[in-house]
Amino acid sequence: MPDTSNKPEHRRRKHYSGKYPKKFEEKYKELHPDKYADEIEHIIEKGNTPAGMHIPIMVGEILDFLKIGPGQKGLDCTLGYGGHSSKMLDELKGTGHLYSIDYDPIEIVKTTERMRLKGYGEDIWTPVPDNFVNIDKISEKYGPFDFVLADLGVSSMQIDNPERGFSWKTDGPLDLRFNPDKGESAAERLASLSKDEFEGMLIENSDEPYATEIADAVFKAIKKGEKIDTTTALCELIETAVRNSRQSKRLSADELKETCKKSCMRVFQALRIDVNQEFEVLYSFLEKLPNILVPGGKAAILTFHSGEDRLVKKSFKSFEKAGIYSSVSKDCIRPSKEECYKNPRAHSTKFRWAIKAY
């Protein structure tokens, strides 16, 4: 008889209830796009993003502006799933080099493996595990650069995985950190704030119209000793606050449901911005950006909410006025209707660009 003592035990995949898998870990086809390419294409055609994937936004518009040529050196400040990096590498035609930054220690490992399997070797592409606030130090080592791209959106992989706590739609730990090994989680941050600080954060980071009511509800719960350490626990408090507010009495059932949904989105956005110090990081990045570009070098930035866009617009105009940038985009560029249909997560995107003076 053949020796089977060292043969790994066969384990059947857990069966899910219903016709389609609902939980992130059950979506085995979406989580293995290399094996189920037809399924992935079908999901994207329906206007959905497959679980664990990220569809790059405004690729055509970015490449049209950057006009990347063979032999150039570039920096992708937000690697994510590698969509933009892959397209920019293809423009290099095998010569030059692209460096791609990612602060997420979980996703950079996965993306590096995918990129290497696609044939992007060390001679043409280098992943950089760091925060893009440190572009000055990165440039000292690898730069200066002919082109720079920063996609400031949260990766779909982070949103979709409930263990990361980025989405209000699924139950998970209230974390929201881009790097879960550093800093305070959203739950820890919430526990350290005063009510006034939390209310101010909701107004400043996401223009939340129910900021006062939500802050009251959250801190009443904290005072009672309730733990707010899961996404569900926070969402329930947000919904209760909105439903009990005076403004909600004038809303229909459908309007109230939509209002609760939008408030959940804004509160999670405000907390994520605070936990990751996104405005402080972006401000520092924009101040350093001209110094890492060669004369005539190009910078492209994708933003996803008004606070980010205001910072980028103000920085670009200020440096243009000072003669540091020779040209900047006068208005933001928006994704096409076709792209928004195929990728609904592109709806809020704004693209701005700048060119360094000679």
pTM value is 0.80
Which pLDDT score is estimated for 170?
A: 84
Q: Are 231 and 170 in contact (CB under 8 A)?
A: yes
Q: By C-alpha distance, which of 113, 214, 230, 223 is closest to 169? A: 230
Say how many Å lie between the first and final Cα of the chain, rounded. Answer: 77
Q: What CATH class does 59-157+279-356 carry? A: alpha beta
Q: Can you read off the two tokens belonging to residue 24?
A: 């992130």
Which pLDDT score is estimated for 260?
A: 95
Which pLDDT score is estimated for 235?
A: 95
Which pLDDT score is estimated for 27?
A: 42
Which pLDDT score is estimated for 316?
A: 98
The domain segmentation of the chain, as residue ranges, is 59-157+279-356, 179-275
The SS3 call for residue 57 is coil
Average pLDDT, the chain: 87
pLDDT tens per residue, range 195-220: 999 999 999 999 999 999 999 999 99
pLDDT tens per residue, range 117-168: 999 999 999 999 999 999 999 999 999 999 999 999 877 666 667 777 778 8
Pair type for strands 293-303 and 325-328: unpaired
Q: Which has more pLDDT, 20 or 150?
A: 150
296 phi, psi to nearest 5 deg: 85, 0
Q: Which has more pLDDT, 34 or 203?
A: 203
pLDDT tens per residue, range 305-341: 888 999 999 999 999 999 999 999 999 999 999 999 8
Give the Cβ contact number of residue 156 at 10 Å: 20
Q: Judge whether residue 14 has pLDDT over 60.
A: no
Query: Which value, to the nearest 10 degrees, does the dihedral of the CA atoms of residues 247, 253, 255, 256 take?
Result: 50
Average pLDDT of the residues in 170-185: 90
Which pLDDT score is estimated for 73?
A: 98
Q: Judge whether residue 9 has pLDDT over 60.
A: no
Which pLDDT score is estimated for 148?
A: 98
Sole residue written with tokens 């996401």: 206
Name the pLDDT band for 5 (thresholds 50, 70, 90).
low
DSSP-derived secondary structure for 314-344: HHHHHHHHTTSEEEE-SS-B---HHHHHH-G
pLDDT tens per residue, range 38-91: 554 555 455 454 445 568 999 999 999 999 999 999 999 999 899 999 999 999
Q: Are 182 and 249 in contact (CB under 8 A)?
A: no
